[in-house]
């Protein structure tokens, strides 16, 4: 293991260091901000209890068509292939993910700064936010591979140095998300617990994990416990233009797509400016910035 610097920030969520997984209660609030009008009281209660909120049909038909055209344009852009921030499928050169999408596309840059979404992120996280990560995941019909169960925070904490649970993801459906075409699946209530993982992080683990993650995934018994505690698995189905906001520690994943119906989702991760990255808690070199923005974060400004 390559040690880059002495970690001076307390590690409240140790993972990949013990021989056995540990299930512990989270040590951070779920809602960091007071009611500000972006969410109803019912929505705040549901997010705090479940760790996610679904908004079917959030974007209009015209907005969806513009986003779909841009997603298809990028997928067929030859100059993207071979870039470090463009990930291909494990068994082909078909594009699986494009990271830092807000730096690649003006259309998606405006989307990540949509004032309707930003207001919700600011209310949940309690103030100014910045984009920790953005990406588009393509899951074509018959060929789209799975994303195994994981807590984003576990990876961001260990491999990027995100200190606390004060970030949320916004999943934006650019195609219909059915219950059968590899949709996002979430474990309600799992965000209230931190399930540590077993196994030392390999050097430059991201090069393999972005194609198929095998380190930093929950053990079957721990995952089964979380599902039992939460009462099952939730699948926020909806038409293109739907969005799902989920807490950074919510356990989630998606199955392979063996149907003819593609599933393309865009993900934007909003992190509090007060939760900026420190040295990775693995003691290794930080992952590339297209996976986690580093430095002094500037508050995100709403798009016009």
Q: Summarize pLDDT for 131-183 with one digit per residue, the tens.
A: 999 999 999 899 888 889 999 999 999 999 999 999 999 999 999 999 999 99
What CATH fold (topology level) applies to the domain 23-262?
Jelly Rolls (2.60.120)
Q: Where are the domains of the chain?
A: 23-262
pLDDT band of 1, cuts 50, 70, 90: very low
The pLDDT value given to residue 5: 52
Q: pTM of the full predicted structure?
A: 0.93
The pLDDT value given to residue 250: 98
How far apart are alpha carbons 94 and 106 in whole angstroms?
23
Ramachandran category for residue 293: left, alpha or beta (phi over 0 → left; psi -120 to 50 → alpha): beta
| Helices (H), ranges, the chain | 41-50, 61-75, 101-104, 106-112, 115-125, 152-155, 206-209, 220-230
- Burial class (CB within 10 angstroms; exposed 0-12, middle 13-18, buried 19+) of 194: buried
Q: What mean pLDDT is predicted for residues 262-267? A: 96
Q: Summarize pLDDT for 13-57 with one digit per residue, the tens.
A: 999 999 999 999 999 999 999 999 999 999 999 999 999 999 999
Q: Are 170 and 102 in contact (CB under 8 A)?
A: no
């Amino acid at each position: 293991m390559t040690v880059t610097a002495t970690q001076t920030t307390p590690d409240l969520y140790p993972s990949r260091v013990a021989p056995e997984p540990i299930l512990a209660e989270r040590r951070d609030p779920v809602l960091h901000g007071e009611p500000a009008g972006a969410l109803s009281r019912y929505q705040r209660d549901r997010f705090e209890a479940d760790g996610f909120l679904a908004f079917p049909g959030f974007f209009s038909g015209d907005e969806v068509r513009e986003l779909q055209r841009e997603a298809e344009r990028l997928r067929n852009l030859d100059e993207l292939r071979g870039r470090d921030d463009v990930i291909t499928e494990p068994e082909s050169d078909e594009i699986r993910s494009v990271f830092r999408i807000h730096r690649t596309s003006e259309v998606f840059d405006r989307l990540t700064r949509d004032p309707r979404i930003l207001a919700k992120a600011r209310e949940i996280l309690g103030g100014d936010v910045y984009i920790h990560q953005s990406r588009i995941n393509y899951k074509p019909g018959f060929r789209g591979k799975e994303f195994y169960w994981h807590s984003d925070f576990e990876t961001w904490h260990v491999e990027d140095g995100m200190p606390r649970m004060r970030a949320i993801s916004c999943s934006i459906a650019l195609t219909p998300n059915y219950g059968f075409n590899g949709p996002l699946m979430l474990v309600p209530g799992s965000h209230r617990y931190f399930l540590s993982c077993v196994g030392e992080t390999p050097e430059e683990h991201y090069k393999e994990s972005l194609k198929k993650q095998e380190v930093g995934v929950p053990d079957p018994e721990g995952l089964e416990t979380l599902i039992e505690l939460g009462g099952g698995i939730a699948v926020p189905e909806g038409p293109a233009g739907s969005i799902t906001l989920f807490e950074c520690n919510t356990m989630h994943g998606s199955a392979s797509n063996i149907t003819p119906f593609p599933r393309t989702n865009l993900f934007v991760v909003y992190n509090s400016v007060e939760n900026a990255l420190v040295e990775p808690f693995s003691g290794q070199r930080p992952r590339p910035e297209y996976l986690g923005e580093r430095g002094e974060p500037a508050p995100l400004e709403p798009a016009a």
